[in-house]
Amino acid sequence: MAIETLNPATGELIQSFDEWSTEKVAAVLDQVHEAFGHWKGTSFEERSRLMRRAAAVLREGAGDYARLMAIEMGKPVAEGRAEVEKCALVCEYYADHAAGFLSDEPIESDASRSYVAFRPLGTILAVMPWNFPFWQVFRFAAPTLMAGNTGILKHASNVPQCALAIEDVFIKAGFPEHVFRSLLIGSSKVDAVIEHETVMAVTLTGSDMAGRKVAAKAGQMLKKAVLELGGSDPFIVLADADLEQAATVGTKSRCINSGQSCIAAKRFIVVDEVYDEFLELFREKFSSLIVGDPLDDRTQIGPQSRQDLMDELHAQVVASIEKGARLVTGGAPMDRQGSYYPPSILADLSPGMPAYHEELFGPVASVIRVRGASEALEVANASCFGLGGSVWTRDQQKGEALAAQIESGAVFVNGMVKSDPRLPFGGVKTSGFGRELSHYGIKEFVNIQTVWIR
């Protein structure tokens, strides 16, 4: 099997790698396990020094890494540079805070002295997606390595050069050999990696289908898993919202990364009183977005990452229109080379339409009319997903009260849902379980050990 880079803007084959053999994978896992034996004994000061150096390496190569993302999965280079900077920030965040997060916690008990200690587990497997090919990895790698674990990456098969570049960041930063490795393998070999005796836990960001498979295998092997899966985030617009701001942020939230984000706003739930006005503002802003070459700094919407994913997105749009959805703008693949889909809006959605229930992973907004806040909440929670959500209102107290009833891992009032190293990130329902980032994230993959002394 070949692992290939196909430029989604041109369809051109850029690079091809042979998939690693089972024997090579096993040999690398043994090397990473051996490296853990030394790495777990390093001081937080030494780990912090190296992690800060990794941040510097990222910033030094930001232009090259952004170009690599553009070529491999179509991310506009301006967004790519911002993604690299965010990776540098998460490295610095854990370099600054890991020692405090994992310091011993004294506990009063019947012992002379008792406390909780946080010990590294060993080698952690990360199965990561293509849509944020650097950020998804670093938000795992920074806390994992700072906790004293070693990391192995099975990246999406369409971004192999990003996978190797990330491994190279840690090498350039001076991390010991084999503390972090990228495996060039397809999905069929993931089960065997989870089964390997040196792998202690697994984290996956991806579809709910992939999450179910990885969770089942991890459960069979009695190994911990953290899953960040799909989302169909509600974006509730109440009658007293600042509509200009809501439409502006809603456009960015729906179309960031060319619409290919788990926490993109996807279902725009708008109360009847302002529905038409919001929809017109929304249409204007969608229509003004610049679609083009991801290597051009002016581009806001690049190609979809893969042709098959664009075809799937279009099928959802067509099926929704056939069931009565109103097409406001866009709605068909663009007549140009590459996997380009225009910013699109479907309005007047109702139950039974794919765009009402399913996650649309591309720049397509689903707009739903409701009578008021109570119905908006019902619609928001009538989803199998629960990753993020937002509420738009000038009444902060009302917004916070409504936010408390939204079934999601994160909810923002008058703001775009985003990940932040300082805040925990993850979902409920079929959006997964466990948390990344913050002090919660670094404690997912440690042995929380009770120590009792007399």
The overall average pLDDT reported for the chain is 98
- Residue 215 pLDDT: 98
Measured CA distances, 153 to 142, 150, 345 (Å) = 13, 10, 36
- Residue 127 pLDDT: 98
Digit-coded pLDDT (tens) for 304-346: 999 999 999 999 999 999 999 999 999 999 999 999 999 999 9
Judged against a pLDDT cut of 80, whether residue 409 lies above it is answered with yes
Q: Residue 127: in which H helix or E strand, if any? A: strand 123-127
Cα 168 to Cα 164: distance, rounded to the nearest angstrom: 6
Q: Catalytic: 83?
A: no
Cα 416 to Cα 418: distance, rounded to the nearest angstrom: 6
For residue 265, give the nearest of 382, 418, 83 by alpha carbon: 418
Q: What percent of the chain has pLDDT over 90?
A: 99
Judged against a pLDDT cut of 80, whether residue 386 lies above it is answered with yes
- The mean pLDDT value for 16-32 works out to 97
Digit-coded pLDDT (tens) for 210-249: 999 999 999 999 999 999 999 999 999 999 999 999 999 9
- The mean pLDDT value for 344-370 works out to 97
For residue 261, give the nearest of 298, 304, 321, 293 by alpha carbon: 304
CA angle, corner 55, sides to 50 and 58, nearest 5?
A: 125
Whole-structure pTM value: 0.97
Are 353 and 317 in contact, with CB atoms under 8 Å apart? no
Digit-coded pLDDT (tens) for 239-271: 999 999 999 999 999 999 999 999 999 999 999
H helix intervals, 323-416: 354-357, 373-381, 396-403
Cα 219 to Cα 99: distance, rounded to the nearest angstrom: 30
Number of separate helices (H) and strands (E) present in the chain: 15, 18
Burial class, 298, CB count within 10 angstroms (exposed 0-12 / middle 13-18 / buried 19+): exposed
Digit-coded pLDDT (tens) for 180-209: 999 999 999 999 999 999 999 999 999 999
Of the candidates 83, 228, 358, 436, the residue annotated as catalytic is 228
Burial class, 153, CB count within 10 angstroms (exposed 0-12 / middle 13-18 / buried 19+): buried
Q: Which CATH superfamily is domain 233-413 in?
A: Aldehyde Dehydrogenase; Chain A, domain 2 (3.40.309.10)
pLDDT band, very low/low/confident/very high, at 283 (cuts 50, 70, 90): very high
Q: Where along the chain do its domains lie?
A: 2-229+429-453, 233-413
Judged against a pLDDT cut of 90, whether residue 27 lies above it is answered with yes
- The mean pLDDT value for 373-392 works out to 98
Burial class, 122, CB count within 10 angstroms (exposed 0-12 / middle 13-18 / buried 19+): buried
Measured CA distances, 108 to 105, 116, 376 (Å) = 10, 11, 47
Judged against a pLDDT cut of 90, whether residue 1 lies above it is answered with no
Residue type, 45: E
Cα 364 to Cα 331: distance, rounded to the nearest angstrom: 8
Are 193 and 25 in contact, with CB atoms under 8 Å apart? yes
Q: Catalytic: 384?
A: no
Of the candidates 79, 83, 262, 359, the residue annotated as catalytic is 262
pLDDT band, very low/low/confident/very high, at 89 (cuts 50, 70, 90): very high
pLDDT band, very low/low/confident/very high, at 425 (cuts 50, 70, 90): very high
Enter the CATH code of domain 2-229+429-453. Answer: 3.40.605.10
Digit-coded pLDDT (tens) for 30-40: 999 999 999 99
- Residue 295 pLDDT: 98
Judged against a pLDDT cut of 90, whether residue 273 lies above it is answered with yes
Place of tokens 């109440």: 238
Residue type, 229: L
DSSP lists the bridge partners of residue 151 as 124, 180
Cα 184 to Cα 203: distance, rounded to the nearest angstrom: 17
